[in-house]
Structure 1
Amino acid sequence: MIREILMSFDDLVVVREPVEKKFGITRYLLKYKTQPVLFEDVDGWQVAGNIWSTRERIAGYLNVRKKGLTGFITEAMKNPRPFKKMNDAPFLKNSTEDFSLLELPVPRYYPKDGGHYFTSAMVVARGENGFTNISFHRIMVRDEKTAAIRLVPRHLYSMWKDKAEHGEELDVRIIVGNPVHLLLAGATSVPYGVSELEIASKMSEMAFGKPLEVVDVSGIPVPVETELVFEAKITPELVDEGPFVDITGTYDYVRKQPLVVFERMYHVNDPIFHALLPGGYEHYMLMGLPKEPQIYASVKRVVPKVHGVRLTEGGAMWLHAVVSITKQHDGDGKNAILAALAGHPSLKHVVVVDEDIDIYDDREVEWAVATRFQADRDLVVVPNARGSSLDPSATKSLTAKWGIDATKPLDRKEEFERATLQ
């Protein structure tokens, strides 16, 4: 449960005075960007944010080294494991149809937001063939029982569209307050038919020695460890959704999106609502970390020795990356650049460095650029490429992608070595 996890952190910030859900939560999460914050009174509810705002905290909880996170996620994506079905869960202790979304501690983060938003919510849906999909979706509260849900054209969108075209509703479970292995799994990009619940189950086995436990909630499996669960239906009706702040810290625009109707709420005793600050470090981590394995795999296909991949905080862990390789041939650096851009199509800028550079240290990366890069021979520019819709500088999602080969020339490696005592 979230409470036990929070209490294990020695840098936890506890806010005991009442805090307003409109902008009040945001002010604290911006002040303590990398520290977990527990609010004890938000309209009578407890709320937590910035829980997973650093690599170190995520890695520590999952019992893996920081540099091993990419491999950890990769292993889970390659080898999903069945989850374990249980007969009970703590959230089943409290069940009601008598609730109002307006009375929940759903924040409004910024002044131009279209409304109060669920940001850490994950949606669990079951396909006709029994396949269970779980994914992140922002959800804008409209009134006591309805909201607008943002669906990008991926798996849940496809499941909804199949129903909507026949005038039917898609039955889903909306879950809030989940363990980090489930959050990371829900942000992975895997083929349709691969269940993110089973990816989370593999992570649970690797980290804790046991599979993910789920319980049936009216026909749909829901993780036992979640804090709040809502039975809901995504309808064919479209309503305005947005504007809202996305990962780059800039506003997305208003779209027509499906209307979701909330029907029943379950929650644990004294639940903690997870407030995920849009454009904050926790947002970066949960959205960016699951993309690093894609970049790693793509680069590995062209350069055998890949030591690490990092999507950088300065690039919102979405648009900029650093890749560490050992060159075997001249030109490997440029091939790695092109492979990284292909591995994560939203990527806009990549720096490729040698294995002696710490990719988690921005100063070391900049030093490599300063001492091992010449723009006239080591710069790769790809104009008018399809990029990220989240990049406000792109024109109709077309962008110039570029890479820096900051690796040492093979025939002059000794000239670029740093002085050491060893």
Structure 2
Amino acid sequence: ISSAIHPDKFEASAILEHLEERGEFPLVHFTNPSGIDGLDTTPGKVTLASNVFADRKRISRALGLRRTQYRMEPALEYARRERERILPEIIDPKDAPVKEVSHVDAYGHVDLRRLPIMHINEMDPAPYIDMANVMQAPPEDVDEFGHEFYNIAFLRTQYKGPDKLGIHMSPRHNHRIVNKNWASDRTTKVAIVAGHHPSFYLGALTLAAYGVDEYEIAGGMMQEPVRLVPSETWGDDFMVPADAEIVIEGEIPPHELEAEAPFGEYPGYYGPQRMRPLINVKNITRRKNAVLQTVFAGHRDHWLTGTLPQEGSRYNALKIHGRIAGLTAIHHPPSGCGRFRAYLSIDKKAEGEGKMAGLAALAAGDLVKHVIVVDDDIDVFNEEEVLWAVSTRCRVEEDLDIIPGAKGNTLDPTVRPEYDNKNAKMIIDATVPLEYAYPARCSVPDHAKEEILSRWDDLIDQNSLKRYRELE
């Protein structure tokens, strides 16, 4: 879109929502956006991209697959790349595209207003950057694990001024890093990567255990080393991606909190306002003509951003590293926001395997709260088939299990604040029982279908079929 727009005035979001209401999810590149309060983005020009992940077929292309390979294929490819990590590569700063512009050098100070940051949803109190944040393991964890490592995670950051952001963290790896630093009154270094190859961001969403260097996982996703370069603020003590579009370097001071949110989150609801840490921005480096990427939060772009990493990482946890050898497919449907619900198909050999698969899926991460397990004759990417299996194979009195008091997610609107993030989980075993002969599914003979398919063009009036497809 080449027309001038003001992303901080909801104009980019309004365009994306109009497209979504039409069932259209293109990657949208706004080539003439203003910065906050109408400021320009010189030197060079910073443009804006969103909806990058809103199409599963486009995500397949980001992994080098064909658009027709969008079902289990990208999940299996993600799982393979997650296992095959690649060490990062350190390069000279003069060869790093992200060093082409430095705010401190260009303006003498940092100014977030010179980025086209989106005001996304109506009740958001300010524009937000909602891309990957890089943090470094604290000294205690370096000693415990025996090596240095970086954690990468999508974290929302609220614009609070030209050199200040608020940050929300769920209680996971980055939260652990900040808390350990605060326990020793240390600041936490953070780099926000606001634009990179889509596969870099897929790597940032891994469910890998704490202690893994996630620059290595991102390298596996990209199928090449993540090129790193010393940061402007801390030099060799903190490395940042050399090929990023934009890197925002900042520090989280210990024990300082301000109100953050409400913010439209992936469940499609606003997360509540809470007291959250701050980031004091020290520098912004970028390409001269950089593209700031933003996830369209609370919408399909947001749902599918998390879907594939959940599928691939959970496939590794269950089938490769776990004990669910009969797992054949896994899908996190958009109807579950790409996170809350998982559909698993298994090659069932014994009673109880459906429940075991469900338990393993829940244990592999805290986001999933509903697991439906089906036989491998059910296509988990066809929600109608999955629900048909629930309707015709699930004996509720035996096949539905509810696990109360499990760890939930702070952004789940069904988690009551007084329950301290606890929530119930549910497993539905919709597999065919093996204790007795179950009725066979209706089907047309394969030989008849094959014979008819060979004469399809002669049998079917294509004009009539076209008129049918055009009916409203």
TM-score (normalizing by structure 2):
0.79
> Any idea what SS the aligned residue of 2:13 has?
helix
Give 2:208's aligned residue: 190
Quick check: 1:123 aligned with 2:125? no
**Which structure 2 residues correspond to residues 138-217 of structure 1 after superposition, within 5 A?**
138-205=156-223, 210-217=224-231
Deviation, structure 1 residue 20: 3.8
CA distance in 2, matches of 1:302, 1:191: 18
Gap change, CA 1:143 and 1:136, over 3 Å in 2:
same
Q: Read off the aligned partner of 1:288 and give its amino acid letter.
A: T
Question: Over alpha carbons, which structure has the higher Rg?
Answer: 2
CA distance in 2, matches of 1:413, 1:224: 61
Q: Read off the aligned partner of 1:264 and give its amino acid letter.
A: N
Q: Read off the aligned partner of 1:416 and give its amino acid letter.
A: A
Q: Is the 8 A contact 2:5 2:11 kept in 1?
A: no
Q: Is the 8 A contact 1:74 1:293 kept in 2?
A: yes
CA distance in 2, matches of 1:414, 1:164: 59
Q: Is the 8 A contact 2:119 2:126 kept in 1?
A: yes
Give 1:11's aligned residue: none
Residues 94-125 of structure 1: per-residue CA shift (max 9 Å, x gap): 11222422342111112221321111242343
CA distance in 2, matches of 1:38, 1:372: 46
Gap change, CA 1:334 and 1:231, over 3 Å in 2:
closer
Quick check: 1:38 aligned with 2:29? yes
Give 2:331's aligned residue: 310
CA distance in 2, matches of 1:411, 1:155: 44
Q: Which blocks of at least 5 consecutive residues in structure 2 are unaligned? A: 35-39, 41-45, 143-147, 447-472
CA distance in 1, matches of 2:267, 2:168: 17
CA distance in 1, matches of 2:362, 2:137: 33
Q: Read off the aligned partner of 2:217 and give its amino acid letter.
A: I
Q: Read off the aligned partner of 1:38 and give its amino acid letter.
A: H
CA distance in 2, matches of 1:165, 1:298: 32
Gap change, CA 1:192 and 1:321, over 3 Å in 2:
closer
Deviation, structure 1 residue 326: 0.7
Residues 389-414 of structure 1: per-residue CA shift (max 9 Å, x gap): 32222332333322222222335566
Give 2:462's aligned residue: none
Deviation, structure 1 residue 325: 0.5
Give 1:78's aligned residue: 83
Give 2:390's aligned residue: 369
Quick check: 1:250 aligned with 2:269? yes
Give 2:14's aligned residue: 27
Q: Which blocks of at least 5 consecutive residues in structure 1 are unaligned? A: 1-13
Of 60, 67, 74, the residue aligned with 1:69 is 74
Gap change, CA 1:120 and 1:413, over 3 Å in 2:
farther
Aligned length: 405
CA distance in 2, matches of 1:77, 1:103: 36
Q: Is the 8 A contact 2:7 2:119 kept in 1?
A: no
Moved more, 321-330 or 57-66: 57-66
Give 2:118's aligned residue: 107
Give 1:344's aligned residue: 365
Q: Is the 8 A contact 1:245 1:278 kept in 2?
A: yes
Gap change, CA 1:167 and 1:403, over 3 Å in 2:
closer
CA distance in 1, matches of 2:152, 2:324: 33
Q: List 4+ stretches of structure 1 deviating above 6 A.
A: none
Give 1:276's aligned residue: 295
Deviation, structure 1 residue 173: 2.2
CA distance in 2, matches of 1:51, 1:414: 45
Moved more, 36-45 or 164-173: 164-173
Of 332, 335, 342, the residue aligned with 2:353 is 332
Deviation, structure 1 residue 69: 2.6
Quick check: 1:50 aligned with 2:51? yes
Of 430, 436, 440, the residue aligned with 1:406 is 430
- Over aligned residues, Cα RMSD in angstroms? 2.3
